[in-house]
């Protein structure tokens, strides 16, 4: 019975091997994340007498090459939530933070929880790439929001309110009407500096060039309101540079986001649960792939409660003696990207209000009862995940697909 604790860091790891009763099989030693060194480590672990289990923290992406290399050698590998290791006291009052101490602590955790350790199973290449795409999509979306706010702030100084005239949705190429308008008419004097007829003609040609619908009433409204606006900065080359560069940056990020969104949908369509997920209410070609990317293979969860806990939308019990709180906060110890996607799905349901949808009826009932916003949104996300788990699990069971099908994709 050998417990191998690996404290993973970038490029290298610290390894400690312990047995019950504090027997030290190997003092902590350092291993680089190279094929040769990880191969030597696997050979050493396989040479040990008795059953061997390797445990490491599920930290970012640093642990993945180590877990993959050891798993491919036929050894038992378990990647646990770092919070479990952090809260594991190890029967000591001392607070020691070194790689060697952490490796020994992880090994002791493995010995104390030997029977409950869950084996690491690598994702197939489609799910791995889909999750990577989703994380890049979320990063791009955050940057796009920041750039959008920056452009609006700049326009408030040169052309106040220019972003409120157009409500057209983002095109597939990432372009937006109000951003294109800001590129061409970057200062209020670009509009009010000419006559209404001249601006209307220029606006018509601009709409035709960018394939937007032209409205003479809209052109008249813009020209009329522009004459009443107060610009804080002059119509200068510097102002033009700031506005157009900010708009170009926003358009570039928006284009990247739409490319990633399309690629995610194309890749998610290759997964077996795609038709079931896309058939659920509130799911579209954007939120569906995001949901599948963050959840992964549903069969890696022991039950629907495990999926709810993974998302961090499970209420934390609070009972002690005569106290038994019935209204508790959610744990929020799971995937923040998954929680954001779930909240977006709940928002879509509330916005579309499908009266024949059970989940919307549940949300509407909680809202009518006077529950706070985050309470009924979290409760709806909890209920949605339970429905998702049941539908996808039954669908995959009917298809009889192995947990990690490697016939269509090589494992990462």
For 276-330, the pLDDT digits (tens) are 999 998 898 999 999 999 998 888 888 888 888 888 887 766 656 666 566 667 6
**Nearest-CA neighbor of 112 among 232, 255, 3?**
3
Q: Mean pLDDT in the chain? A: 86
Confidence band (pLDDT; 50, 70, 90) for 408?
Answer: very low
Confidence band (pLDDT; 50, 70, 90) for 409?
Answer: very low
**Nearest-CA neighbor of 42 among 10, 67, 21?**
67
Asked if 307 and 389 count as a contact pair (C-beta separation under 8 A), the reply is yes
Residue 23: its pLDDT value, please?
A: 82
- Mean pLDDT check: name the lowest of 57-61, 90-94, 235-239: 90-94
How far is the CA of 293 from the CAs of 27, 123, 221, 337, in angstroms?
A: 39, 11, 45, 10
Residue 298: its pLDDT value, please?
A: 87
Confidence band (pLDDT; 50, 70, 90) for 62?
Answer: confident
């Amino acid at each position: 019975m050998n417990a191998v604790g690996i404290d993973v860091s970038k490029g290298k790891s610290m390894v400690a091997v312990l047995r019950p009763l504090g027997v030290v099989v190997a003092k902590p030693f350092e291993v680089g994340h190279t094929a040769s060194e990880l191969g030597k480590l696997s050979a050493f672990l396989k040479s040990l007498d008795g059953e061997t289990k390797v445990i490491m923290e599920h930290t970012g992406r640093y642990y993945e090459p180590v877990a993959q290399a050891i798993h491919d050698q036929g050894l038992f590998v378990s990647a646990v939530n770092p919070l479990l290791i952090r809260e594991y006291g190890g029967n000591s009052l001392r607070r020691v933070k070194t790689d060697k101490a952490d490796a020994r602590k992880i090994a002791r955790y493995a010995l104390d929880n030997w029977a409950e350790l869950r084996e690491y199973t690598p994702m197939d290449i489609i799910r791995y790439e889909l999750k990577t795409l989703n994380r890049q999509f979320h990063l791009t979306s955050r940057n796009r929001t920041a750039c959008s706010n920056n452009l609006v702030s700049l326009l408030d100084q040169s052309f106040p309110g220019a972003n409120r005239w157009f409500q057209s949705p983002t095109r597939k190429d990432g372009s937006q009407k109000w951003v294109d308008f800001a590129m061409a008419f970057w200062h209020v004097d670009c509009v009010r500096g000419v006559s209404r007829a001249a601006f209307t003609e220029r606006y018509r040609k601009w709409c035709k060039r960018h394939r937007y619908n032209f409205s003479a009433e809209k052109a008249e409204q813009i020209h009329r309101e522009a004459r009443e606006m107060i610009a804080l900065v002059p119509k200068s080359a510097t102002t033009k540079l700031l506005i157009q560069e900010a708009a170009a940056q926003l358009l570039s990020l928006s284009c990247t986001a739409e490319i990633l969104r399309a690629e995610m949908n194309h890749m998610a369509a290759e997964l077996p649960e795609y038709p079931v997920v896309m058939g659920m209410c509130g799911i579209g070609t954007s939120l569906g792939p995001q949901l599948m990317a963050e959840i992964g293979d549903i069969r890696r969860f022991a039950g629907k409660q495990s999926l709810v806990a993974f998302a961090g939308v499970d209420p934390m019990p609070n009972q002690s003696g005569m106290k038994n709180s019935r209204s508790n906060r959610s744990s929020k110890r799971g995937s923040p990207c998954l929680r954001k996607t779930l909240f977006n799905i709940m928002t879509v349901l509330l916005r579309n209000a499908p009266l024949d949808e059970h989940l919307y009826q549940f949300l509407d009932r909680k809202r009518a009862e006077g529950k706070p916003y985050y309470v009924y949104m979290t409760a709806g996300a909890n209920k949605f995940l339970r429905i998702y788990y049941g539908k996808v699990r039954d669908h995959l069971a009917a298809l009889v697909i192995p947990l990690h099908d490697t016939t269509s994709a090589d494992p990462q």
